[in-house]
Amino acid sequence: MTVTDPPPDALPAALTATVDLDAIAHNVGVVRAAAGADVIAVVKANGYGHGAVPVARAALAAGAVELGVAHIAEAVALRNAGLDAHITAWLHTTNASFDAAISADVDIALSSRRQLALVVDAARRLGRTATVTAKVDTGLNRSGVARDEWADFADDLAKANAGGAVHVRAIMCHLVRGDEPDHPLNSQQAERLDLAAADLARLGSPAEVMHIANSPAALTRPDLARDLVRPGIALYGCTPIPERGDFGLVPAMTLRAEVALVKKLAAGQGVSYNHQWTSDRDTVIAVVPAGYADGVPRLLSNRMRVQVNGRSFPQVGRICMDQFVIDLGPDGGGVAEGDIAELFGTGTDGAPIAREWAEEIGTIDYEIITGVGARALRQYVGREALGAETARDVAAAQR
């Protein structure tokens, strides 16, 4: 059975992203086993493009114990969908709605004294205790409490905790070189976070839990796991360290499009804007209705392949906003209008995986899967797709 995300009366979509929620569940199990620790399922960026609510439900059903997102709005959306698991949000602008986070019982990860002061003000205004995480900059030099601010931040946090404005639930950091498991900075960052946690305990506001490990560290450095691990990309079946293999992860998304048009092309004729590809023989071409607005990178022009009916065909000419062209060869490759082109998927059927696209253009598969656009119809397969709640969630997402 398949659950799709638009209302029943929606028009057909030219492009479909099929998400296997059983693969999500499998990947949660892989990470838990490797790390020897419980999992915070990171579902930011709409579940890395897969759909945050269905993915969150599948991950929690598979044994994940918490959820993580970047923005408060993402956390509140999960709450509004009925998810009652612990949720942490860790990236906040000056106009972040801490009132909304506190009201929705979202764990607010704090990166500065200024953020802490705003959360304390909001908590007192609402007459509630805010749940917070101390996010420490242990070397990434991005978000997180700076080293020169830490002592004052820790004092402020302890006072706010003692006064009941906040409850210190966790302490966390982000790794610089998690995808280089043997790099000494990984252990150094963990030691710095341990020292910060000791500071909070000494001040009377100990953190209940600590989390450090991202996907690569969770899979390769169980010594960094502490209380929880915080995987993102691994949950979606993309290996965070390709040179070490796939770790048994299963890609969750398969991107497909219907062949819109098949036509003959004479030798010497060019294809698409600026004729960056010209056929050297009479051939047959097909139009696939997906382009860079849908997450097919323009940089892949003349450098990618797709699979139709079990056969691989090269993409030719410039990739456009809404469409690209494939060369079917002189015999047409047995392809007809209405056939399904697989752009990327699990790789088990010989079709490309997202990493193939990424490596071709010098990026990472995180960028590929999160870039799949809103015009792609998300449909869900697997045991979690059978639930009525999931069906309602994904239908509501398009209203």
- Report which residue type is found at 7: P
- From 236, 273, 366, 380, the catalytic residue: 273
- Report which residue type is found at 282: D
Q: Are residues 215 and 266 in the same domain?
A: no
- From 44, 48, 135, 366, the catalytic residue: 44
**Mean pLDDT score, 119-147:** 98
In this structure, what token pair is assigned to residue 7? Answer: 């209302």
DSSP assignment, residue 385? G
Q: How confident is the model at residue 385 (pLDDT cuts 50, 70, 90)?
A: low
Q: Is the pTM of this model over 0.85?
A: yes
> Is 80 exceeded by the pLDDT of residue 383?
no
Annotated binding site for substrate: 142, 321
Query: Which residues form the domain of 192?
Result: 36-236
Predicted pLDDT of residue 8: 52
Q: Are residues 54 and 188 in the same domain?
A: yes
**Mean pLDDT score, 87-111:** 97
Percent of the chain with pLDDT over 70: 93
Q: Where are the alpha helices (DSSP H) in the chain?
A: 21-35, 44-48, 52-61, 72-80, 98-103, 113-126, 150-162, 184-202, 215-220, 354-361, 365-370, 388-396
380 classed as catalytic: no
Q: Are residues 217 and 282 in the same domain?
A: no
Per-residue pLDDT tens for 236-282?
999 999 999 999 999 999 999 999 999 999 999 999 999 999 999 99
Q: Are residues 181 and 259 in the same domain?
A: no
Predicted pLDDT of residue 399: 37
Predicted pLDDT of residue 10: 62
Per-residue pLDDT tens for 20-66?
999 999 999 999 999 999 999 999 999 999 999 999 999 999 999 99
Q: Are residues 99 and 225 in the same domain?
A: yes
396 domain residue, yes or no? no
Annotated binding site: 142, 321
Q: Are residues 273 and 332 in the same domain?
A: yes
Q: Are residues 117 and 180 in the same domain?
A: yes
Give the integer Cα–Cα distance in Å for 159 and 51. 39
DSSP assignment, residue 145? B
Q: Are residues 181 and 100 in the same domain?
A: yes
Predicted pLDDT of residue 349: 87
> Is 50 exceeded by the pLDDT of residue 232?
yes
Q: Are residues 223 and 288 in the same domain?
A: no
User: Which CATH number do you get for residue 312?
Assistant: 2.40.37.10
The region, left, alpha or beta by phi > 0 then psi within -120 to 50, assigned to residue 185 is alpha
> Is 50 exceeded by the pLDDT of residue 218?
yes
In this structure, what token pair is assigned to residue 399? Answer: 């209203």
Q: Are residues 194 and 110 in the same domain?
A: yes
**Mean pLDDT score, 281-296:** 98
User: Which CATH number do you get for residue 175?
Assistant: 3.20.20.10
6 domain residue, yes or no? no
Average pLDDT, the chain: 94
241 domain residue, yes or no? no
Predicted pLDDT of residue 395: 47
Angle at alpha carbon of residue 226, lines to 221 and 227, rounded to 5°: 130
9 domain residue, yes or no? no
**305-308 sheet: strands from edge to edge:** 2-4, 377-381, 15-20, 253-258, 340-344, 305-308, 311-316, 324-329, 283-288, 261-265
Q: Checking DSSP bridges between strand 340-344 and strand 2-4, what pairing results, if any?
A: unpaired
350 domain residue, yes or no? yes
54 domain residue, yes or no? yes
Q: Are residues 155 and 203 in the same domain?
A: yes
273 classed as catalytic: yes
Number of structural domains (the chain) is 2
> Is 80 exceeded by the pLDDT of residue 329?
yes
Q: Are residues 130 and 257 in the same domain?
A: no
Predicted pLDDT of residue 11: 73
